[in-house]
Amino acid sequence: MPPTKKTKVPFYTSGGIVYVDDGNGNGNGDSESDEDVEESDDEPDRIPADVEARLKYIQSLVGSLSKRFLEDIMKQVSYYGPQGTNREMANCIVVHLRGMAAQGDNLKMEEKLVRRVYGQCWGPDEESNSESEEDEGEDEDEDEDDVGTNYISDEIQNRLDRLKFLIKGLTEYP
């Protein structure tokens, strides 16, 4: 099999179009012209190793999601690109996130989003539980609700428990 040429795909930013490597080398996008691609080759996209690992993890999760969940992720990461098959949508999400990483984003919030959506679809995976324990020290400064293993915030879980208690009380007494 001949080696595949890595291609550049357009990533739309507020400052204009930036061409980013699609990471797969399979020609996942069309560029406007060959000159644009050659110009962007002068400045190679350097993505840190930890962000690249995060991107590969996200790619492994979105590959098994259904269309509804992929659409939810697309809305949350502000990508309103073309929709098609599940595989095409997952590839578009990964390419969009690769562009964000090339712009300097660390993709931590996007990883959490994908983990939550994956948990809603398939339940929490073992890898995300082990990684969340490692990341607890890093995430102390963020102002998010505490989220349990079932990806429901503690406040909502407490409300659900109170409602369950009230309903149980109503059904036990005639």
Chain segment 72-87, per-residue pLDDT in tens: 888 888 887 777 888 8
Distance CA 76, CA 113 (A): 8
Question: In which band, very low, low, confident or very high, does the pLDDT at 174 lie, cut at 50, 70 and 90?
Answer: low
CB contact set of 111 (below 8 Å; sequence gap of 6+): 54, 57, 58
- Three-state secondary structure string covering 114-136: HHHHHHHHHCCCHHHHHHHHHCC
CB 69 within 8 A of CB 121: yes
Largest CA distance in the chain: 79
Distance CA 136, CA 138 (A): 5
Distance CA 108, CA 96 (A): 15
pLDDT of 122 reads 82
Chain segment 101-150, per-residue pLDDT in tens: 988 888 999 999 999 988 888 877 666 555 554 555 554 444 454 555 55
pLDDT of 141 reads 46
Chain segment 7-47, per-residue pLDDT in tens: 565 555 555 555 666 555 544 444 444 444 444 444 456 78
Structural domain boundaries in the chain? 8-143, 146-174
DSSP string, 24-44: SSS--S--S-HHHHHHHHTS-
Distance CA 53, CA 42 (A): 24
Q: Is residue 97 pLDDT above 60, yes or no?
A: yes
Q: Is residue 92 pLDDT above 50, yes or no?
A: yes
pLDDT of 33 reads 43
